[in-house]
Structure formats: C-alpha cells, structure tokens
Chains A and B, each alone.
Chain A
Amino acid sequence: MSTLMSGARMLVECLSREGVDCMFGYPGGVTLPFYDVLYDHHIRHVLVRHEENAAFAAEGYARATGKVGVCCATSGPGATNLTTGLVDAMMDSIPIVAITGQVPTKLIGSDAFQEADTFGITRSCTKHNYLVKRLEDLAQIVHEAFYIAASGRPGPVLVDVTKDVLQGQGHYQPVTAIHLPGYKVFTEGHTGQIRRALQLIGEAERPLVYSGGGIVAAGAAAELRELVELTDAPVVTTLMGLGALGSSHPNFISMPGMHGSYAANMAMTNADLLIALGVRFDDRVTGRLAAFAPHAKVIHVDIDPAEIGKNRAPEVPIVGDVKRVLTKLNKLLAEARSANGEQPHAARRAWWHQIRQWKEEHPLRAATSPDEIKPQHLMAEIDRLCAGQAIVASDVGQHQMWAAQLIRFHEPRLFLNSGGLGSMGFGLPAAIGAQFACPGKLVFAIVGDGGFQMSIPELATIASYQLPIKIVVMNNGFLGMVRQWQELFYNNRLSAVTLDSFPDAEKLAGAYGFKGRTIEQPRELAAALETAVNEPGPYLLNVKVSPAECVYPMVPSGAAINEMVLGPPNPVAVPAK
C-alpha cells in the first residue's frame, strides 16, 4: 500500500509514527511546506524565540523523559543557530533529532539566499547526519535518524531536507526495517568479564561505585540500587548521574570532582576498586589523571567501546548496556551471597567508618547569614520546596555547582544540566522542554544573571504558553565562575566579568504579563520562593545574593582531586592518605 503525498506531509507522518507529540522550532523560507502541514496536525509545535533554544528545549524534553526530543529550523542561520544545542546533546549523550530545511537541490553550492553547508557544519556536532536530496529516501532516513538517536549511546541526529523534497509529491511506503550495516550497538556485556568483575568486587576492601549519566540513559536506576544493596558499596554520582541513586540513600556520598564533596573525592582517591558505571572519566571528575584513584582497580561498564580505556585503562572492561550488565552482575552477586552467606568484612566496615568520618569532617553545608542571602542558602531553600521530586533545569556556572551540591534528587531525570559542553543559556529553554514533557510537574529554572540574559527572549515563549516555570535568578552581579577563577588564579584582576545592569524583575516579568519580584533579604527568601511555587503561572524571582562567594570545595585545574581547596581565605591542601 502506498499513498501519494507531499514530502512535507511524509516527514510529518514519519514524526507522528515515531510518537512525536511535541517539537520545538522556528520556521523560515525553505521549511514553509513543512509548517503548512503542521498547521492542522496533532503534533504540537512550540515556537521558541531563537533556534538555539529550540535545540536546548528538545534536550530538556529528552532529558526529562528519555524520549527523543525534536527540534526544527530553517536553512542557513536557522541551522547554524542549532549547532550549540547539537554539540551539547552530543557531549551529554542526549537523544534528539533536528530537522533542518535546505535550499532546493539545484541551488546547493550556489551561495543561494540562506544557504549554509549544514551537512558539513554539523558533521562533527552530531552522532550522525543526513542530507535528503531524493524524496524516495526521506521516510527511511527519518526513521533511521530516530533509531540512531535513541539506540546505543544516545545522541543528536540531524536531517537536512531540501525544499524540493518537501514540495515534491511521492508515494509514501511505511518503513518496516532499518538497515545500517556499520552501526554497531553493543548491549550484552561479556559474561567472562562480568564474572571477573564479580571476583574483584568480592576481593575489594574499599570498593566505590562511580556512576554517571549512563545509568540515567539506560534506565538502570533500579539495577544500581540493587547492586548497592547487594554489595553495600558507597556510591558517588557525577553531575550527569545525580538522582541515579536517590540523594537520601544511605550509601550515597555525593558528587565527586572539581566541585565535588570532600568525602566523595577522598573516597575516590582511597578506594581500592572503582565500579565505574556509565561514566567517561571526564576531566572535571578526575582532576589530574595521573593521580586519580591511584590505589584502585577499575571495572568500567559502558555501551560505547570508544570510552573504555580512553582516559583510564580498566582492569575489567565491559562493553554493554549498563542495565543488562548490572542485571547479570546482580544475579551473580546474589548467587554468591546465598552460597557463601553474609560475610561482614572488617575491612569494609573500616572503609565505611572512614567515609563517615570524611563526611563529618567537611560536610556540604549551606552557609547562611542574617545580612545577605548566601547562594548556598538559596539552594537549600529550593531543596526544601523541591523535596527531591521537582525538576530543576540549571544553567552553567556557580549556581549550577551549588545546586548540584545542595539540592537533593530522589529520582533520575530531575536535574537537567549542560554537563559536558557547559553551555550558558541552557537552563531556561531546557526548563521549557521539560515543562512540555511533564506538564503536571513543578519545574524550576535555576539560572545565573549571566546565562539568564543569554536566553532571555524565551520569557516570551514561557508567557505565550503560560508555562508555570519558576525562574530563579541567582543574581550576584558577576559572571561568577569566571570571577572566582580570576580571584583565585589571576590576582583578583576582575576582567570583563561585571554584570552591573540587570532589568527590574517585576517590571520585566510584568512586561510579559506574569509576576516577578526581586529580593535581597534573607528573611524574605523562604516566603518569596513559596509565593513563586504557589503562583499558578510563570514566576520570575530575582534573588540578589552575596556577590563575593566562591564555590568550595574546589580542585584547582591540574591538581589531584584530593588536593581540594576547602574554603577561603587560606587554601588548605589535603594530603592523600
């Protein structure tokens, strides 16, 4: 059976068959045929105010749900504006599909109006990309794009469609199979390696689970919990994995790395076994690689073979879907336990004792002051309102690190972050995507006064769809993270980091037709946040915080992660045990 239809309708039909219910985009000249079909189609098209934010919103949607997020832009500037979001999704392994329009086939290469080499430009920004020049290829390619985006290690896929393909008429034939002879998806871990992992876990005296975004992508939170319960191993979770093990789980230590906790970094440094699950030994986690986890053997589980041994050669490499690998490993652990019985291990008890001691020595504590709102105080209050259940989309910078340290997440897919790329401007559009994905959920956008102004046009999107997002600007009047580095490493020569003009929040929100407020007194904080949460519509809360605060602990660039600066004014270098 085939049906005669336009390429544009075929494209929409394919999106519909992929289960797309919502997409984020911005129309333009060459995508007119596509938008004409969308006009009376059930797929909801959300009009953002800048294409970059369409990609970020699609990411927000995908990060909050695990489903493929979709964004759309026109040729030329529309497509080039998407690229930051594509790289962002690439770095964090987020499944999105970007549809871009391209000038008619016969004009490609002629410097036509709004022409750009989108296929070439986005080659390194995507997991895979396509240029569609023939209508008969369109349906196959769109379904391939969704398959590639969501399978294996997820990532962004771009489909560039020429205007003549959108306008052409052709017979639509439903696609029944995807054939990608070179696309290798490794799901089952090697049984022999999993047995070796079991052995190492049995022998370890100071084991530590180092889990990350891969647990979230694989939907393996339950399996992680089971592993932790079977082994009683302590767990650190990277920025991308926060929520993978609930923050209130007794085995959860916290986030390791550059702004990780003292206990997490000391545990990493002193562990004799790292069970690395869906992580990539990122430089922000490892610090100086040569000094990272010097006593540990490593079991590394990852779905992407190119991640294994990239930064740290593991003793036991396991290529596979972490959910399936953990299912197998847990089964073996349970069998071993029922065969040998519970063996409370003196060394393991000492290890736990040591970790508790580290936690007590330098806890992550929210400082407060009667005179000014400390940023940590702000995060602690937001944490109280979230109760581990709300979605928090963060921007990039100091507020992101404080949020990661102090807000608890009981489930995965609640803390949305630009982790790998660190794209300022991410927070607000990501919150938009998440709110469309989860209309009933409380969504916070926690942003700095810098990043907020990068995506400020999206206030219009929030207003026009009446999204009840609670925008909290942690306003310290600086590009805080850069200022912190200038203070600590460049003799406090504050160069180009002062943000001395910020709009009146009440007037700004009011101009868009919703409520807003600025506060600067600590006593106002709790009530102001509650007002924001109780407001049925959007709310913009501008919180003026103490400007000079730095994020601690901090591992200076090039230092080992146990060489933390724990706070001002005199840096304290902590020696390895």
Chain B
Amino acid sequence: MLQVISVHLENKPGALMRVTGLLSQRGYNIESLTVARTLDPALSRMTIVVDVDPVLRQQVIKQMNRLVNVLQAVDLTECPAVMRELVLVRIRTPQESRTAVLKEAEIFGGRVVDSSVEGYAIEVTGAPEKLDEFVDVMGSYGEIDVTRSGTLAIALDAKKLRLQPPVLTRTGAQEEMVIEPPV
C-alpha cells in the first residue's frame, strides 16, 4: 500500500531536494510529489506518496523533521486525512461516441475544459483510485493522453504548526568596527 507524508517547509531553493534526498539516498522511488506555497508565501506544503516499509518511514520522517528548512513532517498514512488528485485527460473520439464520453465524464464529476472536432480535454478531481477508474473508462472510448497532479492531502485533525522563535546573537554589537592593523 502506498503511504502519504505531508511536509511543511520553507519556500527556499534546495529545500525540496533536501526532503526528497532522504528518500533517494535509500533508493526509494517517489510515486508522486506535489509542492506549492501556503497562505504564508515564505512556506510551502509538500505531499509525498511513497512505498516504504513502516519502520523506515518513521525514521525518514524523523530525519525530515531534523532538516533546517522543514517545519513539520507528518505521516498521514494512518491519520484521518482527505486525499485528492486532479487528472487532465485529452481524448480523441469519433463523432458517434462523443455523447457517451460526456456521460461517463459526468458520472466521475468531470468537467470539459476544451472541446474540438477531434475530441475533448476533461478534468476530474477525486481520490486517486477513482481517477484510475476514470482513466480506464476513457481509454475504452479512444486514444487518450493523461497527466495527473499527484496526490494532495490534508489531515483532518492537523497538529498545530509551531514556528521556532528568533534567537538573539552576540554578533550584533553595534560598536564601531576596528579595522585590524597588519600583523
């Protein structure tokens, strides 16, 4: 079964690589990955879907939490959480099955985002397994091209995100700097 890790991290260059590096260094493949900034533009939220054994997953999540750029990494696999994905399907379909395609799309709550003589572009959001079915159904009507967003997840009882407070340094003395004489 695939597992889901949700990560709050700083929106900074390299932060993504630090998180994914913890999986790739162990030779694990990432099934899907989404990342975008949060309400606070200084932060991003990432959803990673992987297939890692549970003990190792706990270890990897601890190591993610250890990263300087990571505010919080949580395992959503066992938590109450909502998971959604978006799929865009372009289908080339002959005139006679256009109506049937539309009907099927409607069953999946799909929306036509482009229509042409050749066929349609349809978007559907839903649970990842539901989208698998949708893609299968569309495939039976004609030639398709598919792109998926990867899973987005949000916990239903989210832990409060704690930001670490600033730390004062002793290096900020305002005194006039002494330019050292040559030794």
Contacts and interface: CB of A to CB of B under 8 A. Distances in A.
B171 A14 contact: yes
A3 B179 CA distance: 12
Interface string B38-80: 0000100000000000000011001101111111100000000
B182 to A, nearest CB: 4
Interface residues of A, number: 39
A41 B180 contact: yes
A147 B169 contact: yes
A124 B14 contact: no
Contacts of A178: 166-167, 169
Interface in A11-50: 13-14, 16-18, 39-42
Q: How large is the interface on B (under 10, 10 to 19, 20 to 34, 35 or more residues)?
A: 35 or more
A177 B164 contact: no
Nearest to A176: B172
B169 A183 contact: no
Given A176-B172, A182-B10, A123 B164 contact: no
A181 interface: yes
Given A40-B182, A306-B63, A175 B14 contact: no
B84 to A, nearest CB: 26
A147 B171 CA distance: 11
Given A304-B66, A305-B62, A179 B169 contact: no
Nearest to A184: B164
B173 A174 contact: yes
Interface string B153-169: 00000000001101111
A181 B172 contact: no
Nearest to B180: A42
B66 A306 contact: yes
A306 B73 CA distance: 13
Contacts of B166: 177-179
A13 B183 contact: no
Contact of A183 (B63, B164, B173, B182): B164
A124 B25 contact: yes
Given A42-B183, A123-B14, A128 B68 contact: yes
B183 A182 contact: no
Contacts of A407: none
A180 interface: yes
A13 B177 CA distance: 9
B21 interface: yes
Contact of B177 (A3, A177, A304): A3
Interface string B1-32: 00000001110011001100100010000000
Interface of B: 8-10, 13-14, 17-18, 21, 25, 42, 58-59, 62-63, 65-72, 163-164, 166-169, 171-174, 177, 180-183
13 contacts: A1-B174, A14-B171, A41-B180, A119-B14, A123-B21, A143-B169, A174-B172, A176-B172, A182-B70, A184-B65, A305-B62, A309-B58, A310-B62
